Structure formats: C-alpha cells, structure tokens
Structure 1
Amino acid sequence: MSKNLIIVESPAKSKTIEKYLGKDFQVLASYGHLRDLIPKEGAVDPDNDFAMKYQVQERNQRHVQAITKALKGADTLYLATDPDREGEAISWHLLEMLKAKKLLKNKNVHRVVFHEITKKAVTHAIENPGEIATTLVDAQQARRALDYLVGFNLSPLLWKKIRRGLSAGRVQSPALRMIVERELEIEAFKTREYWSITAKLAHEKQAFKAKLTHYNGEKLSQFSIENDDQAQATQQALVAAADGKLVVAKLEKKQRKRNPAAPFITSTLQQEAARKLGFTTKRTMMVAQQLYEGMDIGGGEAAGLITYMRTDSVNLADEALENIRQLISEKYGADQVPKAPRTFKTKSKNAQEAHEAIRPTLAQQIPADLKKHLTSDQFKLYDLIWKRTIACQMIHATINTVSVDLVCGSDKNLFRATGSVIAKPGFMAVYLEGKDDNKEGDDKETFLPPMAEGDAIPLDSIVTNQHFTEPPPRYGEASLVKSLEEHGIGRPSTYASIISTLQNREYVTLETKRFHPTDVGRIVNKFLTEHFTKYVDYDFTANLEDELDAVSRGEKDWIPLMRDFWTPFTKLIHDKEESVQRKDVTQEAIDEKCPECGKPLSIRLGRNGRFIGCTDYPTCSYTRNLNDDGTESTAPEIIEDTKCPKCDSDLVM
C-alpha cells in the first residue's frame, strides 16, 4: 500500500501526476464534486444561518469508496484539486466527508497547489504543502446557496405565470436580458441613408483613391450628403472644379508603435478561440482542460502542455519569461527580444499574484512538433496559446502612416488619402489579435505612391457611393463573453455554463453564430425585467459578484451577505405570487380589433411561440399567426388554465 494518497479531480490528471511520482504515491480522482446540495426544498435553510444539506452524488459513490479504502493504508493525504474556488470546495467537501467517517485519525492532511502539471511544479507543491483556504470555500458556498435560492424560488413562479419547465438564474437572467435588449435595439433601428464621394486618381506609379472631407469650405459629417440628387450635384460641381486633376496641398508622415496584447486569461482565450477558431466557450474550456491535464507527447512521457486555464491574472513567472525570451532569440533573432521583459497590468482585483496567465508550460514545445500527438482541436488551441504567449514578449511593430490632402479647384474642396505600411512587423509576424464584427484593423496595408506638396495628380473620375446605417450586430459568443466581462456579470469560469443554460432552456438560439432570443426567452425576460428589475440589473449583479469576491479574499463574511440578499428577495417572490396575473405576463395588447367580434386583439404565448388572439376568449376563438396580415386564422388556439392530463403541457384547439 502507498504511504501517500493524492486526490485530484480527473483521471487524466491523476495519470499524468502518477508518472512523476514514485511508488510511494497513489493518485486517485474525485471525478469533480463528490457531493452537492440535496435536490429538493430545504437544501439551504435561511432560518438557520443558511445551513446547507449535502448528499454524495450517486455517480460518485464508488469514487468515495475507492478513496476511503486507499486512505486506510496511507499515512498522508494530499488534496491536490484545482487552484481555484471550485477546487478548494472539492477538497473541503472531501475532508468533511472523511472527518464524518472518522478516517483522519493519525493522518497527515495537506492542501497542495500547482498551476501547471509538470514534474517540477508537482514536486515543488508536495514539498511545500499548505492548508485549505476557508475564505475560498465560503465564497463558493455562498455562490452555490444564492444560485439554489434564486433557482428554487423564482423558477416555480415562472411555471405558474408563464409555463412549466422554465428556469431563472442569478447570472443567466441578466445575460438573457443583454441578448433580448440587443434584439429590441435591432427591431427599433431606423435605417438612414447617406452618401460619400471618392476620387479615383491615376498617379503614374500607382492608382489610388481619396475621400471627400471638405466641400465649399465645410467639413463633411456622416450625413452631410443625404440623397442621390445632392450627391450628383456635388459630384458634378467637383468634376468641373477639378479640371482633370487634384493638387497635393499637405502631406503628413508619421511613425507609430503597436504593442502586443497581454497573454491569455480565461475570458480572452474564450473570445479569441470564438473569433479565430469558431469554438464555443464550452468547447474552448473542454480542450483547454485536456491540454492542462496532460497527454503522452512521445516516448511514453506524459506532460501538461499549458498552465491552469481558469485565471484572471496576466502575470508570467520569471522562469517562464526567461524561457520565452530565449526561444524568441533562437527562433526569430535576438533583435526581436525587447531589452526588458514586458509586464501587463491585471485588471481583476481578485486575481491572485501566485496565479499566472494561460501559457505553454514550456515555450520550446513548438506546436508543429507536437501536432502528431494532438487532436485537431487540441493542436488549434495550443497553437493559439503558444503564439499569443510568444508574441507578448516580442518587440513592438513599427507602422509608417501617410496622410495626403488634395485640393479640388480651390482649398475649399479637399479630398484625403491615407496609407499605412508595416515597416517592422515585430510581434505581428507571430500573432495578431482578432476583432469582433469584421472591423478593419490597422494591420491591413494600404500603399500610396510617392508624392510632394504642389504635385498635380491626374484625376480618373469622381464617384458617388450610397450607404445605409446598420443596426448593432447581434451577440456572438466572443462579443457576449466580452460584454458579460465588461459588465462584471458572472466570472470567466462560468461563461460556458451560462451560455449553455440559455440554449438548453430554449431562451436563445444560435443562428449563423449569432444569438437570437426565442419567444419564450422574450416573455421570461419581460417578466423578470418588469417584476424583478433589481435582480436582472447589470450593476446589482456585478456588485454582488464583487461582494462574493470580497468573501474569497477574507474581507467579508458570507452569512450577512446572504441575509442582505435573501430578505428582500423572498418578500418580492411572495408579493408577485399574489399580484401578478398569468394573462398580464403572456399577453401583450396591440392596437387592433378582432375581425369577428370587434374586441381588442393581443399577442399571446402558445406552445409553438407567440400568436395573435382575441381577448374575449373563450367566447371568441379568433386566432392568427403573428406574421399573418389578418386574412387567415391558422395559429393554434390555446385553452387557458387547462393542462394535458398526460404530460401537463398546454392544450390546443
């Protein structure tokens, strides 16, 4: 029997670690959380300081038995779960269970933490053990209790007021609000026409274009030219004034530097993987977990390829920096390494200095060399992480820009041409940060021919261009994660589950990589924003996250925080249970009369989405599809307050 027992979360992680340690160590996996709140009312007791009732999850019974059996023959227990709030909670739960079984007598118990699964990191952690951070456990308990209390009290209210099977969550509901509000913005958007005017110039070295910026002495704004007639009149006047040429009035050259982006944290990895690889947040975190936990990379050697993937810190360890700088010098040249390592400022006040950014465990493990040992997804994500990490420690890029103002007839009419050339690519030779919604970056080169003030450039033509303003784009995974982070809603480690929950509940659908709210999602959001305004408010949600972070730092006690939340919340639940009528939630008045009885029509929610129906139902049974022009009555008729005796769904005529 091994004298030392080490507990980690996953079997993949246990296999990697077991290869680093001798036969005196046995490594077992807990397979995630061993126990959770009992799945019924009373799991959290607000009247007893929010005492929580747990049970071992059925699927984990055999893992508990395996750990219990192994511990009997061991002298020392090492709790080596992940270095974050969830990992701390898993270790604490296991410890509490073992204490209850009286299995810790004469046993040494240690908490060990490492941020990468390498032999050096694991050995160092075991040689320098610590204790469970109870403040992290308190923060996790508070989060779990809050989520339970919101879900277990608000969801049944949605069942009564809208339909069965719905749910609301502390963090998912503000995220839903974000998606619905964007959709309403798009629907309310009024397209506006505007025109621009471009000169095409036939320079002997290279043709180029210039855009009209001033006309008749006035600087043009976006809507200065609003219609075709105005555009044509302006174009004709300019052609006449130009007399076949534009004259260079001013030429301005500048050189600017562009610095690399910081190494990845959880949220930026999720955003970039969505933009560049088309990965969902869930897929990104799953693949990152595999890279972190380790795999065979040849010669029977298992290795964790990246550091821990749940982090808010952009720090890089001194040893890692040395390693990265050495690789840059060898692979790209000594002139590509800045004099001193680059440092980046961590935005999150909750990020721990001991934590690092997401980086390769060894810079010398070049993606191309590992490709044959990795799956396609693993290679793509590792390649992304490796390039971002290397680039962040390279020299800046140098970009030469030139702006040319050209006179058309008189200095009251000005065209401007701009060009940019990457003089020294620096880090851009390795990695460029992605952008949302196809906004053009300054990495796109546009060349202009050599010119001097006073030069007359032959004019090829002056053309008019029609444009229309566009509504804001719907959220994709990358832009939603970015917005959640900017608003302080949730934490990066929870974004994947937030998005999955919204999709699983059919509150949103993902079409062409953009989120669209469903009819049910709209109704749920309307109910929550009208009746639980505070609890879907972005600032309230963010402040609560900050308070939970303060608990994890030991600056705040979790029980008073729970009381402050629960007292007004439970009162509001009871008030709304009595005061809100189902028809007020599921029906929306419209300015139209029923063609059959003359009573007002309303938009109503049925099993297959929203439809238009008569408010005098059941006396009048007129219905039609929401998008019909009123000539057909094809939508299903929902029988109010009556459910199917077999499946409890709405009954339709």
Structure 2
Amino acid sequence: MQVVIVESPAKAKTINKYLGSGYEVFASYGHVRDLPAKDGSVDPETDFTMLWDVDPKSQKRLSDIARAVKDADGLILATDPDREGEAISWHVLEVLKEKRALKDTPVSRVVFNAITKQSVLEAMKHPRTIDAALVDAYLARRALDYLVGFTLSPVLWRKLPGARSAGRVQSVALRLVCDREREIETFVQREYWSIAALLATPRSETFEARLVGADGKKITRLDVGTAEEAGAFRQALEAADYKVRSVEAKPARRHPYPPFTTSTLQQEASRKLGFAPAITMRIAQRLYEGVDVGGETVGLITYMRTDGVDMAPEAIAAARSLIGRDYGDRYLPSAPRKYTAKAKNAQEAHEAIRPTEMSRLPRDVMRHLEPEQAKLYELIWLRTIASQMESAEMERTTVDIDAVAAGRTLELRATGTVIKFDGFLTLYRESRDDEEEEEENRRLPGMSAGERLANKGIKAEQHFTEPPPRYSEASLVKRMEELGIGRPSTYASVLAVLRDREYVRLDKRRLVPEDKGRLVTAFLESFFDRYVEYDFTADLEEKLDKISAGELDWKDVLRDFWRDFAAAVGETKDLRVSEVIDRLDELLTAHMFPPKEDGTDPRLCPHCGTGRLSLKVGKYGAFIGCSNYPECKYTRPLAVQNGDPDKPAEGNGTRVLGTDPATGLEVTVRDGRFGTYLQLGEAKDGEKPKRSSLPKGLAPADVDLATALSLLSLPREIGRHPDSGDPILAGIGKFGPYVQYGKIYANLEADDDVLSVGINRAVALIADKQNKGPGRGRGATGGRALGDHPTLGGAITVRPGRFGAYVNHGKVNATLPKDMDPETVTLDQAVEMITAKGGAVPAKAPRRAAAAKAATGATEGKASKAPAKKAAAKKTAAKTATKTATKTAATKTAATKAPAKKAVKGA
C-alpha cells in the first residue's frame, strides 16, 4: 500500500478515484506547522534558527498519517507544484521523522499541473526528491516576513498608538494606495477646451474632425486653456473653407492576449465579473481540485497559482483542433502561438491557467457548476481558446483637413478604424475603457485629397483635468506585478490583510486608505523608507527567486537583510513620540489641513480662535487637537470635508447620509474603534451626539437615511406584554439587538429584525429567556439538526460558535475544519468528528442503572436523611483535622528550615 499526501480533502477524494486500491490518499489540510506568533520563533543570534509548532488541528491528522506510513510500502508527497506545495511536503516529512514513523519507508515527491487521471498517473511515473532549493526559498520568505512583522510591529505600537501591524509586502502595497491618494489630494485642476467641427462630404455623409494645429503649430489636448481662446478658434472655424489635404489608410493587426496567469485572471475577473481577488482564487481552487461533472469528479482547470503564460504542446494542439473544427481554417494561425511573460521576476516553471480539456465546453459543464464557478470557467475557456486564434485585421484611416479663414490656416484631423476580419475578437475582448472602444468602432466616409467639405457646425467644449483614479483591487494587483512586488500566490492575501487591519476600505470598488493606513505609511516612509521602497522590495523578491534556482544561499540573504534592518530599528529606540508626531504632522498636512475655500488658515482652531491645530495621538489612535489644551478641548478626526471643521471628510471613515427632517442635524455613518456606527449631528458644549451601532448582517454600504433614522430612534416600544400590560422595547446593546421586558433582556436571533420584530415574537423570546434562566440565553441555539447518533442515540446538530462552526452531540463539541462548509456537513462526517473528539463513550448513564438509582432514592425516603447528616458531620470533622495537621506540619517544617537559612547567611 502506498500512502499519498495532498493538501485538501477535495483533492484527496479526486485523486483516490484515479489511483485505485493500491493507494491510500490523506489530506494535510494545508500547512501543518507554522512559526509561533511570539518573539524568538526566528532567532538571528543562532544563525536564524526557526522554531516550528504543529497546528493543534493537524495533530490527529498527522497521527493518522504516521500510523498509515508505518505499515506502508512507500510515501508519496503530492502537494501543489509551487514553493508552498514543496514546503507543505517538507513539513509533513519533518513531522513524520520526528514521530519516527518512516523507518526504511521510501519517500518520493510527485507534481502535476492538473488533477486529471492522465496527469496524475503520468506524474506517478516520474517521482523525484523534495527540491531543497524551493524549500530554502520558502524558509527565507517566511523568515523575512516574520522578522519584519515581529520587529517592526512593536515599534509601531510604541511610537504610533492605534497602529496594528506592518509587513514586508503588505506595507509596500499600502504605500502604493497611499501614494495614489496623495497624488489625488495634491492634484491641481486645469481647464482646457476641445474644439471639433461637424463636416459633410459632397455626398452628404457627415463625420467629426478635431482641431490639431493652427498656423503651423501643433495644438495638444491642454493647449486651449480659456474660453476666450476657444471662442477665437470657433469664430475662425465658422468662417473657414474646408478641404481634404490627405487621406491615409493603414492596415493594422491586433494580436490575441496570452492565456491567464494568476494576476491577469484576478484582474479580468474583477473587471468582467466583479469578483474580488480572494473570491476568484477560492473559486479557481475548487475548479482545480475537482468538480462532480456527470457522476465523475474531474479537475476542470490547471494549477491556478502561476505567472507562466505558455501551455503544454498537447493543450495547444487540442485548442487548435477545436478552432479549426468550430470556427474554420480562417481563424486558425498557420503555426501555434508561443507566449513569453513580461512581468518582472516571472517564473516560467508552470503552465498558464487553462482548461484541462479544451473539448469540455462551458455550456456542457454549466449545469454541473455553481453560477460563480460557471462564469469563471467560461472566462478561462474563452481566453485560452482565443489565445491560439488568428489576429484581428483592421484598417486605420487618418484624414487631415485644412480650414482656411482670413489668411490663416487651421488644421483638423479625423480618425476611424474599420475591422476587416475579427479573428480572435469573435470570441474574446479584454476589458478596456469606453473611449478606446468608441474609436475602434468609428468609421469614416470615403474621401479623397482635394475634396471640399461643408461646415455643419462647430463645437467647443470645456473640460477640466482629473486626478489619477484610485486603485481598484485589479489595478493594484497589476501595478504590484509590474513592480515585481510579491508573488502570484500572495496578491489576494495581501489585499485581504490590508482590509482586515482596516488600513484600506473598498468604496465603489476602489481602494481608499483609512487614516490609520495613512499614518502607518507616513511613519514607515519617515523612519524606514528603504524598506517600503518599491525597488528594494522587488530586488528582495529577485533574490528569493535566485534562492529557488539554487543561485544564492538563503541564510546569506537573511544575514545581509538583518544587518541593516536591525540597525534601522535600533535607531528608532531613542525617538520620542512627540518627534514622530511632528514628522507625521508635516508629511500629512495636505491630507489633514487642505486649503479652505475662504482662504483662511486651515490650522486655526475654530473653537477658541487662537490655538493651532495639529496631529495628536491618544490611547485609541490619532486625532486633530488644539494647542491650547486643556483650556480648549476641541478635537476632530484627521480629515474634513471642503475645509469645514464641523464636517469629517467622506472617504476617511465617514459617509454623510443626509439631514434629519425633525432636528435638521446631519446623519453620518462612521468607523470607530468598536466598529461602524451611526451619528446624529456633532458634539457641542461637551455633550455627546446620539449614536447607534449597526445590527449584525447590515453592511455599512447598505445603510440609507431612512434606515439610519430608524436605528437612531431606538429603543422603540413594540407593544405591551399581554400578562402585565408593561411595555416591551426593542433596541441594540453591547451584545447586539435585543428585546426588553422590565429587567429581562432577550437577544434577537439571526432572522429577527430589530426594526420590525413584532409583539408575538418578542413575547416568545422573553418567555424562552425566562424558562432558560440566567446565563443561558445569549448565543444559545439549537443549530441545524443532522440526525441521531447511529450507536449512542441522541441528536447531532451543527451550530455557529464564537470560534467557528462546530458539531454537537450531548456534551461533546467538535470544531469544523476551516474549509468545511457548515451548510453541507453530513451526519456521517459529524459522527466521525465527534468520535475523534472523544464522543465514543455514551454521554448519559444506561437507562436501567438510572432507573434503579431513582427507585432506591424513592424507597429510602426520609430515612436517608439521618445517615446523610452523619456523613456530612464526619466529612466536616475530617476536613478540620486535615487543616490542623497541615498547619502543624508547616510550622515544624519552618522551624527545621530556619537554622539552615542562618547558616547560609553566616557563611
């Protein structure tokens, strides 16, 4: 029997079917060990010794693997074909060595780029050993990330209260977002005018031409800057005679895009399907590991973490065969297309992301997939097939026109594109902006040099330059890839960390830096500038790639990095918090104190009129305060709207919903240290404004003015209790939405709405709380019933818990693995987890024994009370005697030890 190790149970299930009875496939459930989240897990003083802890959830799985390996003919490590996969195999092997489970068992490593029967069986024919260079690259990356995070984060906590963490790649990605925001804040708007003429040929065919020159000088987009200049050109054009100077038609070809890499898949899925990178990767993982298609579990796509753009020869041949059959020879190039990655530090070790079978059309598998899976599979299939199709053929026409008026010559130009042959565009178009699409579809009428044209109207339009757009998740991934920051497998997790740390947030699918993110970036730029430089991070990634290729020693890279990094950290030890705040105050001036519309000093305190506003840092984070504190206690958030100190800026944790018609006060949604909340008006004369937290399940983006006003009006009276006539209220408290009857509080359940819960439901919840008694109401839930235990009896349920979903049987609770969906847990799976947790022993005594015990107690009746009293008296006497004996013994011991102490002291 051969034991095979993979990462996930889905992958194990699929591969087990392919290999047959001679193999037993186990899932490690991802990484089985990690560096403990504490100081000393990587020790530079002992040549970067790394201490690994086995994940408690992995202990049982590893024990099962160890038992299987002891009796196995061989161990095959078949984890993913990248550094992470190599590292998981290495970790599993190290743990098995520690358990002394291997003995003389042969160990081999196999990799496959797709989970298909052919790929898996072929991989089994070509085993190898674990790639030490790939493991070294993993160790170096993990050590670097740990050293940066666990060295830099405490510095942040001490010098910048409220900051949460810093990371090697995470901080650079955050800097990209913050730098873009700074560009937007410092952007100076410019006015410009575009001028175009609507012209007609002698055959009455109209088209538009724009002004590009005057009197021999070129006119670019921003050259006409005022209404007066535009008016002068318009007047001249209205009086001009128009004649075609030249017509130039050039053939052009547009080539297909290469098949997807990790980053391009994330970008296109974001633009076309609206998927966040993390969602895209989760769906792609399922498609890769295997989906049930017509009773057969098959992997639908190749490995989804890659920056390679080439495909296997057999895949290219299959794609070309399909193109020739379904689209015709005109769409099939004479030779297969080969692609080379353009991204910095790209690795060509793996194929691009493609379908495992080109003949498996999206329409054929759609009914077997979830809607999101079907959409992503179709996107991958279309891009893959299009990548091997013929180029699109176009004709780009440029017409130059002279407009002569009052002795001066103005030059106009019209352009148009005609698609002569659509080629790959018949199947796939990459997302582009509207202007590019419009130009591609614009056609010009036939014209010839010397032909006169008629003026049908002149159009002069005012425009203003716009700042660069904020990054979307897709465009940030693209920029990180261009700069060589991070690896394909890290993009989604880096973005997730930035949002989890509340350093950035998504607003209309754009990344907006929060104030705490701006502060962290400003701090790192001020005191650790080198370590958030784009080139430095990219160079470090290049060194990691060289380690994986066996060109550099991983500990040499760590030594070089740590020497300078430790020195930089040491230089911050003597920094006073006041120095840090002054530096950040200067760096973030444009953000915190934008110019006011009336031209007054934006730093002048609006409360006392004499103090200066500046950045302050308190226990819970940063704020703006007055220099006249404590006489003046004015404070506000870091950023404000349009220079108005009474209006916190939108996009910095605050969104204005509107005005309360009853009070005339502004209603806002805000981010606080305990989460998102609603606020009515602003603080005045030391009085706090009315606030309300959001019920669980209500996203801040979904809150409108009506909902906010309803929540701010809580608590509300639902009605009167039918027994007493006392009021029952509904409100939101520390532990979430509740109903209240006198001193009884009952939490609402997930399906209850605090704004609409009725009197009957409220009475039922209160009665349930009274029946349960104190301490049992909050969070108690029956969960989803799975059925009765097949051997022990009693109901088994799956329930939500504080630390994740779990299955329950009697007093036994077993937490579900992270990758297991609580909605799909079966009774068999639950029984297996409960048994593993120690639920094989019946939770209750046998019925006969319990009945006998009850009968004995009933027969004894009052007679049992006297012996009970005697027993209690004996127990009390014994307890007293024990205490006395203990006290006496302690006294003797102390007396015995006293001379010894004196002797020691005297010596």
Shorter-chain TM range is over 0.9
Using the aligned pairs only, state the percent identity.
50
Deviation of 1:629 (Å): 4.0
- Which residue of 246, 249, 252 corresponds with 1:250? 246
**Structure 2 contact 523–580 (Cα < 8 Å) conserved:** no
Assess if the C-alpha contact under 8 Å between 1:83 and 1:113 holds in 2.
yes
Native 8 Å contact 2:70 2:101 kept in 1: yes
Closer/same/farther in 2, CA of residues 277 and 369 from structure 1, 3 Å limit: same
1:94-105 residue pairs with structure 2 within 5 A? Answer: 94-105=92-103
Say whether residues 1:212 and 2:219 are aligned partners. no
Cα RMSD for the two superposed structures: 2.2
Report the AA paired with residue 215 of structure 2.
Answer: N
Q: Is contact 1:160-1:582 (8 Å) kept?
A: no
- Contact 2:163–2:621 at 8 Å: present in 1 too? no
Checking the alignment, whether the CA contact within 8 Å between 2:504 and 2:517 is kept in structure 1 is: yes
1:110 is paired with a residue whose SS is strand
Matches within 5 A, 1:460-471: 460-471=456-467
Instruction: Note closer, same or farther for the CA distance 1:195–1:593 as it changes in structure 2 (3 Å cut).
Output: closer
On the 8 A contact 2:160/2:577 being kept in 1, the answer is: no
User: d(CA) in 2 for partners of 1:597 and 1:429?
Assistant: 67
Residue identity opposite 1:8 in structure 2: V
Match of 2:3 in 1: 5
**Over residues 395-452 of structure 1, what are the superposed CA-to-partner deviations in whole Å (9 max), with x where a residue is unaligned?**
11100111111222268222111111110011111111223x6552488311111122
Partner of 2:355: 360
What letter corresponds to residue 433 of structure 1 in structure 2?
E
Aligned to 1:420, what secondary structure does the other structure show? strand
Whether contact under 8 Å (2:416, 2:439) holds in the other structure is: no
Which deviates more from structure 2 when the two are superposed, residues 233-242 or residues 368-377? 233-242
- 2:271 is matched with 275
Query: What residue is the counterpart of 2:626 in the other structure?
Result: 614
Greater relative contact order, per chain length (Cα 8 Å cut-off, separation 6+): 1
1:269 deviation in Å?
A: 1.1
SS at match of 1:418: strand
State TM-score, norm by structure 1.
0.92
1: CA distance, partners of 2:345 / 2:338? 18
User: Residues 89-128 of structure 1: matches in 2 within 5 Å?
Assistant: 89-128=87-126
Partner of 1:137: 135
CA deviation after TM superposition for structure 1 residue 509, in Å: 0.8
Match of 2:225 in 1: 226
Measured after TM superposition, the shift of residue 600 of structure 1 is 3.0
Q: In structure 2, what residue type is equivalent to 1:218?
A: K
- Of residues 350, 361, 369, the one that matches 1:374 is 369
One-letter identity of the residue aligned with 2:373: Q
In structure 2, the residue corresponding to 1:588 is in which secondary structure?
A: helix
1:4 deviates by: 0.9
> Partner of 1:339 in structure 2?
334
Q: Deviation of residue 568 (structure 1)?
A: 1.9
Q: For 1:26, what is the secondary structure of its paired residue?
A: strand
Mapped to 2, the partners of 1:470 and 1:52 lie a distance apart of 50
Question: How does 1:130-529 map onto structure 2 within 5 Å?
Answer: 130-164=128-162, 166-203=164-201, 204=203, 206-242=205-241, 246-298=242-294, 300-347=295-342, 353-409=348-404, 412-435=409-432, 440-441=436-437, 444-529=440-525
* Partner Cα distance (2:82, 2:72) in 1: 26
Alpha carbons 1:281, 1:477 under 8 Å: kept: yes
Instruction: Report the CA distance shift for 1:635/1:274 in structure 2 as closer, same or farther (over 3 A).
Output: farther
**Residue 635 and residue 539 in structure 1: after superposition, are their counterparts in 2 closer, same or farther (change >3 A)?**
farther
On the 8 A contact 1:218/1:412 being kept in 2, the answer is no
Match of 1:578, SS? coil
Moved beyond 6 Å, runs of 4+: none
User: What is the CA distance between 1:635 and its match in structure 2?
Assistant: 8.9
Give how far 1:8 is off: 0.4
Please report how far the alpha carbon of residue 612 of structure 1 lies from its aligned counterpart in structure 2 after TM superposition.
2.9
Mean alpha-carbon deviation: is it higher for 412-421 or for 515-524?
Answer: 412-421
* 8 Å contact from structure 1 (residues 400, 422) kept in 2: yes
- Paired letter, 2:411: L
Aligned to 2:659: none
Q: Is the 8 A contact 1:623 1:634 kept in 2?
A: no
Shift of the 93–609 alpha-carbon distance from structure 1 to 2, 3 Å rule, reads closer
Letter in 2 for 1:61: Q
CA contact (8 A) 1:162 1:582 kept: no
Match of 2:608 in 1: 596
Asked if the contact 1:205/1:449 (under 8 Å) is kept, the reply is no
Instruction: Determine the C-alpha separation between the residues in 1 that align with 2:416 and 2:612.
Output: 61
Equivalent position amino acid for 1:130 in 2: R
Q: Please give the per-residue CA displacement for 1:375-400, whole angstroms capped at 9, x wherever unaligned.
A: 11111111111111111111111001
**Maintained 8 Å contact 1:313/1:348:** no
Whether contact under 8 Å (1:624, 1:635) holds in the other structure is no
The gaps in structure 1 that reach 5 residues or longer are: 638-646, 648-653
Give how far 1:130 is off. Answer: 0.6
Q: 1:273 deviation in Å? A: 1.1
What are the superposed Cα offsets for residues 514-564 of structure 1, whole Å, 9 maximum, x if unpaired? 111111111111100000011101111111111111111110001111111
Partner Cα separation in structure 1 for residue 608 and residue 403 of structure 2: 67
Question: In structure 2, how many angstroms separate the alpha carbons of the residues matched to 1:526 and 1:352?
Answer: 33
SS in 2 for 1:409: strand
TM-score calculated relative to the size of structure 2: 0.67
- Hey, what's the Cα distance between the residues in 1 that align with 2:567 and 2:348? 41
Separation in 2 of the partners of 1:160 and 1:405?
66
CA distance in 2, matches of 1:635, 1:76: 75
Change (3 A) 1:635 1:560: farther
**Taking structure 1 as reference, are residues 507 and 630 closer, same or farther at Cα in structure 2, changes over 3 Å only?**
closer
For 1:296, the aligned partner's letter is: D
Q: 1:79/1:449 Cα in 2 relative to 1: closer, same or farther (>3 Å)?
A: same
Aligned counterparts of 2:610 and 2:67: Cα–Cα separation in 1 = 76
1:151 deviates by 0.9
Deviates more, 1:615-624 or 1:489-498: 615-624
1:610 positional shift: 5.4
Post-superposition Cα deviations, 1:90-144, rounded to whole Å, max 9, x if no partner, equal: 0001001111111111211110010011111100111111110011001101111
Give the drift of 1:624. Answer: 4.3
